[in-house]
Structures are given as C-alpha cells and as structure tokens.
Amino acid sequence: MADALAAALTVLCCAAMSAVAATVPPIPAPVISPGYHPELAKDERGLWLELGDYEKSLVSSPLRVRDPALVDYVRTLVCRVAKDYCSDFRVYVLRNPYFNASMAANGMMQVWTGVLTRVASEDELATVIGHEIAHYELAHTLAQFRKIKKGTAIGSIFDIGLAVVGVPIPVGQLTAALNVLAFSREQEEQADLLGAQLMLAAGFDPHATYRIWRDLIDEDAHAEIKREEPGLFTKTHPDSAERAQVLEAWAKSVQSPPAAEPADREAFRALVAANYGWLMEDQIKTARYGRTEFLLERQARFGMPEGYVRFYRAEMLMQRGGPGDPEAAQAEYAAATSAAPAPPEAFRNYGYLLLKANDVAGARRQFERYLAAQPDATDRAMVESYLSEDP
C-alpha cells in the first residue's frame, strides 16, 4: 500500500512538473555570435560610431564609479554570465540611486548603483546582468536603434546618455525617449528566459530570477507616488507580476525546491557593506521616503549591520522632517550608537541632536566617541570646539 501510494505521488509530481514546464515559452537562441563587429556596409556601423562618441563622454563622467574593488566585482560577474561574449563588453558602473541597467548595441553595459541597494544577493545581480546580455545576444538593442533611426526621436538614445553623464535634458524629451526605447512584450519575455538560462549555466540560483521582480513590486507598493522611478530598466519592463510567474515556473522546472541561502551571499553582502554609506546617502537624497524605508527594512533582513541601517533610517527621518520624525530619529540614532559596528557619523549626528535638545552631557559623550572612532575627521576642529565649551 505504501509503495503504491509513493508511486502514485511520483506520477502526480512528474505530471505537475510537466505542466509547469509546459507553461514556459521556448528559450530563444542567440542571434549575435561572440566577437561580432558590424560590416562597413551595414546601417549599424554609423550607430556604433555615434555610440563610441557617447562612450568617450561616459568614460570621463563624474558619475562613473572608479573604485577598483566595486567595478572589478561587477565586471567579473558580467564575464561569468557572458562567458564567450566577455571580451565584447565594456562595463560601466554609474553613481545613480535608481534601479537601472542597460546594454547598447556595441557592447557598452551600464549598471546604476541603485541596483546594488535593491538586489539581495549575487544571484539576483546576475539576473539583471543576464537579462541585459540576452538583449544583446538576441540583437534587441540593435533593433531598438533602428527603430529610433526610422522614427522622429533620432537623438533620443544619445539624449538619455547625456542625461546619465550629467547633462540635463527636458523631462518631456526623456519620457518620449523612454517610450521609443521600450522593448516589446515578446522581446522582454525572450530576454527574461535567455538571461535566466545564462545565469543558471553560470552556476547561479534560478529562483533569484523571479524573487527580484517580486521585491521590485513590493517596493513600488511602498512608494508615495507609484512608478515615479526614472530608470530605463523599470520604465521598459511592464507586467512584472506576470513575468515573475513565468520565471518562477521556469525555475521550478529546472530546480526545485529553491536554495535556502544563496551560495555567494556573503561576498555580495561584503561589497555592499563596504560602500553602504554613499549608496544610502544617494538614496536618501532622492526624497523617495517610502521606497527608502522599504529598502532599509529589506537590507536589515538580509544581514546589513544594524548600526548602519538604523543610522541611515535616522538620517532619512531627519530629512523628511514630518510630525514625530525628529523624535523617531533620536531613537534610531541612540540604537545605532549602541550597536556594533556603527558609522562614526552616527555619534556626531546624535551628538548634534542631543545638543539641540539641551542634553549637553549626552552630546559631549557622543562627540568624544565620534573623534575616537574617526581620529582624522575633517571636522575635528569644529567638534572639539563644542567639547571645549563649559558644560
């Protein structure tokens, strides 16, 4: 009886897996081969030349991240997913707090730092990268450039590029450009599945492919204004819930159950932790407080140091300045300075807040802790001036 029941369950399980697999569209084969270069007679040759001019601007952009450890990490990950296409790509990490990544037809990849504050693991970062590589391999990016060339928005892609490297353009023009650049539903589905296959072949957890979309949906639900993010990635990726379902069906067809803990989470966590200060400062400056609060809570769940998370929550509350925010910020500063490790700025800023509340003794203790934690502080003279005053 037990053997018969087990056999029946096995049949049901296999049938269910077949049903799941049947819901997944076929994965397309790459169109562009590794080492591809356009022929002189091809229409894309001119596009490559224009992109080359833009790329020169990107190289010197003040927004380009130049930290070797961070950039090498991302480039190494790109090569791991791209494999034979690795030498075709140039990777630029840009300091922009919104969620966006893109790949140009000439192999120029851009990854905005807002991606790093939103993905929870290296597997999820590989999902974003794999999706963009798939667009390249399937010649989707080339098709979009041809679409622009035939339309009225001939300069749109380059206008977007100028906006990225620090030259402002009108919002209406940027919106029109984003609409022109939007991939079709079929192209997005193809890039989802080929990108997922690429990251799986590179040894990443396939279940990350749908988790990241659901996290983006959750973030959007916490936003005061829905869909206000300017990133091209989110602007051109509609129907996130449906796409997450397709990717989940695919992931379960190739690996079930999901891994309990991404294998490379510690390396990724260390990378984000090393750059956490300026990443979160950039995010707070966006004044998207609902999104920022959601990101902080999520980062706390996947292991960012408590002292850092609570400090930047306090900073967010101070910037927002709504009813009860200063009091809530003081509690967050206190918690941050009680945790280890804590950013040195937590002691200083908490000290300023206590000084404003006429708690001179408490402020002095925090200023002393700040100078001890940051002996080469650029504002040391100013802080010492507060300590030299009579209590």
Span 142-150, average pLDDT: 70
Q: Are residues 160 and 183 in the same domain?
A: yes
Which pLDDT does position 325 carry in this prediction? 96
Between 188 and 14, the higher pLDDT residue: 188
| pLDDT tier at 114, thresholds 50, 70, 90 | very high
Please count the structural domains in the chain: 2
Least confident of 38-52, 229-243, 284-298, 320-334: 229-243
Span 268-293, average pLDDT: 94
pTM: 0.84
- Residue 167 region, left (φ>0) first, then alpha (ψ -120 to 50), else beta? beta
Least confident of 158-172, 244-258, 365-379: 158-172
Q: What is the DSSP letter of 264?
A: T
287: which residues sit within 8 A by CB, 6+ positions away?
319, 320
Between 292 and 24, the higher pLDDT residue: 292
Contact 170, 60 (CB under 8 A): no
Instruction: Tell me the residue range of the domain where 168 lies.
Output: 22-254
104 in a domain, yes or no? yes
Indicate whether 171 pLDDT > 90.
no
Indicate whether 382 pLDDT > 90.
yes
Q: Are residues 236 and 307 in the same domain?
A: no
Distance (Å, whole) CA 69 – CA 277: 16
Q: Are residues 130 and 50 in the same domain?
A: yes
Which of the listed residues 206, 225, 254 is the one where a domain comes to its end? 254
N- to C-terminal Cα separation, the chain: 84
pLDDT more than 70, % of the chain: 77
10 in a domain, yes or no? no
Which of the listed residues 222, 254, 286 is the one where a domain comes to its end? 254
11 in a domain, yes or no? no
Dig out the tokens for 33 from the structure: 């081969």
Least confident of 47-51, 58-62, 288-292, 380-384: 47-51
* Nearest Cα residue to 379 out of 346, 345, 355, 350: 345
Q: Are residues 231 and 306 in the same domain?
A: no
pLDDT more than 90, % of the chain: 59
Indicate whether 18 pLDDT > 60.
no
| pLDDT tier at 67, thresholds 50, 70, 90 | very high
* Nearest Cα residue to 235 out of 167, 174, 149, 164: 174
Which pLDDT does position 262 carry in this prediction? 56
Q: Are residues 231 and 370 in the same domain?
A: no
Indicate whether 36 pLDDT > 50.
yes
12 in a domain, yes or no? no
Phi, psi of 101 (to 5 degrees): -145, 150
Span 45-73, average pLDDT: 87
Which pLDDT does position 5 carry in this prediction? 33
Q: Are residues 333 and 381 in the same domain?
A: yes
pLDDT in tens, 70-94: 999 999 999 999 999 999 999 999 9
Q: Are residues 248 and 118 in the same domain?
A: yes
Indicate whether 138 pLDDT > 70.
yes
17 in a domain, yes or no? no
Which pLDDT does position 226 carry in this prediction? 57
Span 20-40, average pLDDT: 80
Phi, psi of 337 (to 5 degrees): -75, -10
Which pLDDT does position 162 carry in this prediction? 52
Cα torsion through 202, 207, 213, 218, rounded to 10: -140
Q: Are residues 242 and 279 in the same domain?
A: no
Which of the listed residues 254, 281, 316 is the one where a domain comes to its end? 254
49 in a domain, yes or no? yes
CATH code of residue 299 = 1.25.40.10
Q: Are residues 26 and 153 in the same domain?
A: yes
Q: Are residues 48 and 191 in the same domain?
A: yes
Q: Are residues 42 and 172 in the same domain?
A: yes
* Nearest Cα residue to 283 out of 61, 99, 123, 122: 99
Q: What is the residue-averaged pLDDT of the chain?
A: 83
Q: Are residues 38 and 112 in the same domain?
A: yes
Indicate whether 191 pLDDT > 50.
yes
Which pLDDT does position 158 carry in this prediction? 55
pLDDT in tens, 213-254: 999 999 988 988 655 555 545 544 447 788 899 999 999 999
Q: What is the DSSP letter of 4?
A: H
245 in a domain, yes or no? yes
2 in a domain, yes or no? no
Which pLDDT does position 161 carry in this prediction? 54
Say which amino acid occupies 254.
V
164: which residues sit within 8 A by CB, 6+ positions away?
58, 61, 63, 94, 96, 110
Indicate whether 22 pLDDT > 60.
no
